[in-house]
A and B are shown apart, each in its own frame.
Chain A
């Protein structure tokens, strides 16, 4: 199989070849497995390649009768971020503490992927427990950016974003707490969606911050992302926070001609001094083109943006400190050897099993929840969160979509920010507010700076994913950028 030939393929194109008999699910799976084998030494996007089982599943599909109505993800390999539980298959959260953990059950999204005919190709690298913005916090080494292996892939879904960008897999699942799908998608030039909170079940997603975590699709184009989202969304009786709302249907996506009627809001607070000039230029250039195209662009204000990041770093660690309490060496996961007594068991297990960033956030969260500080920190954080949500509610009274940058800069160098947590946190400054508000938000490639991708963030009101996809698909076609094809890694460098 020749990758160059397939680089612009969508799910629909693979399905066409399946139907015509020119391709089988086995052949496709084998091809992607080959691609992973050739490239992943350098990229480190995968923590586990599910080779045998994937081939077995694919060969079962080879014999399926192919009529016009194939299940939406029939025969399509999908990679899953390694904080999403897969029955019997290690799910490590990128940490030492869960290095040997094999969940006894599947996450709801994994069951839904299977029901849609997808093939689980492997588990992808991430920042430990999804805490980080560069995938440098993985206990199993960083994932490199396919566009420049000296740079980070973003985080925490860096493995998923890099694997899709490098075409090791056509689709992947990430999880987004403060920007962990959109930021790496932007760094890797692919499409990443953070759905409205409650649209995809969290059952089986190992919790970081329950009130913020959302699983999101990562794809090479908007259409594929929508198809993947359709397969995953919908109520789940095993997750009380999952919205009692009908599953998303691709039929909700408005046709291209109606997209031109949307009003575009541009939040003033997202274009301040923190935004690096090359990125700002690409974004502004895109906005100018839209303006010339006749779109109604409107500057709006989200006045509490400045406080959103600070509030996020109160609320998310607070929940994390509680969610991560279960890793104590008693029931599962890593247990320190040679402990004396219960307290020692907890202390040593957690000291040895968790990475630095995880410990930092546990301490931060424990502090802000402790008596005497709860009102001052956690409660204040939640109040700010309400204000941030109201900002968006007001904005969406005036416009249908908001456009903004995804990240303040292009992918940074490995090691560059890891020494300064605050600098690292700042890379999420444009993705955190929408996560705090629980709205739908998507990252889409809108250009390059010196060969490195720049993402555009498209946001809509909760449950308006139809509009979100409609506009993004139109924008994707309008920009008409080449599908990402980074070739500067693996054996291809020799060519």
Chain B
């Protein structure tokens, strides 16, 4: 990056997790739905239809703004942003302009072990547009359709100040923003499904503290592409500057396949959106009561939680990071600790066995049948050595599949005797009787004979006994017998 100062600001759009769209009652669960099946006169902009604000949108946006330490504006005014495009049914988008939900916030995140603070310029809401679907190839046969299922889905837009200084920072900041909106349950933050989208502004300059010519990069739909697109821009702009040519102020698209940014079709004039207050929606005042209520509903922020996990549970930074990044996982972990207070053991199981299973199945912990209580019970059995680690893993998988508790599974699989020492004693005695030679060898000091007897018992129990318990019982019985 050869000496140039990089300045980056990002704009993040998140679909808010509401059941209904922003200004009508149509559903928002559009993934996999027939195009235009989730529409009504309002979100299609049919003449005569009028928007009515879904109150939940306001609550979620306020939650996000408060969590980002924004100043909340006392009055909500919706503006119309006018422009022509087929994905925009009304010919304008209902958005917020000079009265956003919140301004002057802060986001804290970690990069390279250091805490960074980035200023948030504004948090506002707007409705999403529809989606263009292009079919066919070539100029002559190409057809374009519009799917308005997404039109009217509420978005919260979070705009940072240009405080980011590298593509890596931008990526980390974006990841933290996603974690935060997920924590607040404001959005599912899913980039692949388009419910979290990011645009970035980037400029390079020679002089510290000064910004160069700003380029806007759009169409980045993963953390990786944000990072790579910005990296590409740093190199592209550096080489332009090195050769003493001017960087052009423009909007560029990230081409995921070719790994390059390309200039969007040039606009001859600056766009004029002709913002004005939407006369179909009256301004609203934000009451103190509502703010108090929403403040009370705020959850602990991820960075704070991470520190707490490290301090209270003695987890490593890495362990805590993995846990808190996925709020559901962290919640599962803490819930489990309520029944079984051994953070280290629980953490190990969550980060190895459970994560492995979830990854293999492509599941989220809260979608699985496994409950924290079930894991706590399993770990208790393991700790009391009633089952072996191998069996515990086996039982865990069964719990995921069936949702049954560990004891139930152990009973069903016929592992029940293992928890019953009397039963184990019986088998142990049987094996002692069947293998007099080995007993004699053991008693004469041959340690290997003991292992052989353990193996025999294990075999007799079809491997389902706890080796620890087998060893204890065997040693005791041999002693008693001898």
Binding site for B on A (CB under 8 A): 83-85, 91, 93, 98, 101, 103-105, 107, 202-207, 209-211, 237-241, 318-319, 321-322, 324-328, 330-332, 342, 346, 366, 369-371, 374, 378
| Beyond A85-B47, A241-B50, 11 additional pairs, beta carbon < 8 A | A83-B48, A103-B46, A105-B41, A210-B278, A237-B52, A239-B50, A322-B80, A326-B45, A331-B44, A331-B89, A369-B276
User: When the two chains form their complex, are residues A328 and B84 in contact, meaning their CB atoms are under 8 A apart?
Assistant: yes
Closest to B53 in A: A240
Contacting residue for A325 out of B48, B51, B52, B91, CB 8 A: B91
User: When the two chains form their complex, are residues A209 and B45 in contact, meaning their CB atoms are under 8 A apart?
Assistant: no
Q: At the interface, is chain B mostly helix, strand, loop or mixed?
A: loop
In the complex, A332→B48 CA distance in Å? Answer: 13
| Chain B neighbourhood of A238, CB < 8 A | 50, 52
Query: B447 an interface residue at 8 Å Cβ cutoff?
Result: no
Contacting residue for B46 out of A84, A105, A237, CB 8 A: A105
User: When the two chains form their complex, are residues B46 and A240 in contact, meaning their CB atoms are under 8 A apart?
Assistant: no
User: When the two chains form their complex, are residues A331 and B276 in contact, meaning their CB atoms are under 8 A apart?
Assistant: no
The count of chain B contact residues (Cβ–Cβ below 8 Å) is 30
| Chain B neighbourhood of A84, CB < 8 A | 48
User: When the two chains form their complex, are residues B281 and A240 in contact, meaning their CB atoms are under 8 A apart?
Assistant: yes
User: When the two chains form their complex, are residues A103 and B48 in contact, meaning their CB atoms are under 8 A apart?
Assistant: yes
User: When the two chains form their complex, are residues A240 and B276 in contact, meaning their CB atoms are under 8 A apart?
Assistant: no
Given known A-B contacts A206-B47, A210-B280, A370-B274, A342 and B86 have beta carbons under 8 A apart: yes
Q: At the interface, is chain A mostly helix, strand, loop or mixed?
A: loop
User: When the two chains form their complex, are residues B47 and A319 in contact, meaning their CB atoms are under 8 A apart?
Assistant: no
Q: How far is the CB of A443 from chain B (nearest CB, A)?
A: 25
User: When the two chains form their complex, are residues A322 and B82 in contact, meaning their CB atoms are under 8 A apart?
Assistant: yes
In the complex, A328→B84 CA distance in Å? Answer: 8
Binding site for A on B (CB under 8 A): 41, 44-53, 80, 82, 84-86, 89-92, 146, 272, 274-276, 278-282
User: When the two chains form their complex, are residues B279 and A210 in contact, meaning their CB atoms are under 8 A apart?
Assistant: yes
| Chain B neighbourhood of A204, CB < 8 A | 48-49
Q: How far is the CB of A494 from chain B (nearest CB, A)?
A: 41
| Chain B neighbourhood of A98, CB < 8 A | 47
Instruction: Identify 18 residue pairs between A and B in the complex whose beta-carbon atoms are under 8 Å apart, listed by A's number.
Output: A91-B48, A103-B47, A105-B41, A105-B46, A202-B50, A203-B50, A207-B280, A241-B279, A241-B280, A318-B276, A325-B82, A326-B45, A326-B90, A328-B84, A330-B86, A366-B274, A369-B274, A370-B272
Closest to A366 in B: B274
Given known A-B contacts A103-B47, A325-B82, A209 and B41 have beta carbons under 8 A apart: no
User: When the two chains form their complex, are residues B46 and A332 in contact, meaning their CB atoms are under 8 A apart?
Assistant: yes
In the complex, A378→B82 CA distance in Å? Answer: 15
| Chain B neighbourhood of A103, CB < 8 A | 41, 46-48
Closest to B280 in A: A210
User: When the two chains form their complex, are residues A211 and B279 in contact, meaning their CB atoms are under 8 A apart?
Assistant: yes
In the complex, A203→B42 CA distance in Å? Answer: 10
Q: Which of A318, A330, A369 is packed against the most chain B CB atoms within 10 Å?
A: A330
Given known A-B contacts A210-B279, A240-B281, A326 and B47 have beta carbons under 8 A apart: yes
In the complex, A208→B272 CA distance in Å? Answer: 22
Q: How far is the CB of B88 from chain A (nearest CB, A)?
A: 9
In the complex, A123→B91 CA distance in Å? Answer: 27
Q: How far is the CB of B42 from chain A (nearest CB, A)?
A: 8
Q: How far is the CB of B154 from chain A (nearest CB, A)?
A: 16
Q: Which of B45, B47, B281 is packed against the most chain A CB atoms within 10 Å?
A: B47
Contacting residue for A207 out of B44, B48, B85, B89, CB 8 A: B48
User: When the two chains form their complex, are residues B90 and A325 in contact, meaning their CB atoms are under 8 A apart?
Assistant: yes
User: When the two chains form their complex, are residues A330 and B48 in contact, meaning their CB atoms are under 8 A apart?
Assistant: no
Contacting residue for A209 out of B82, B146, B279, CB 8 A: B279
For the complex of A and B, the 4 pairs showing the least CB-CB separation, nearest first, are: A325-B91, A211-B279, A210-B279, A369-B274
Q: How far is the CB of B23 from chain A (nearest CB, A)?
A: 9
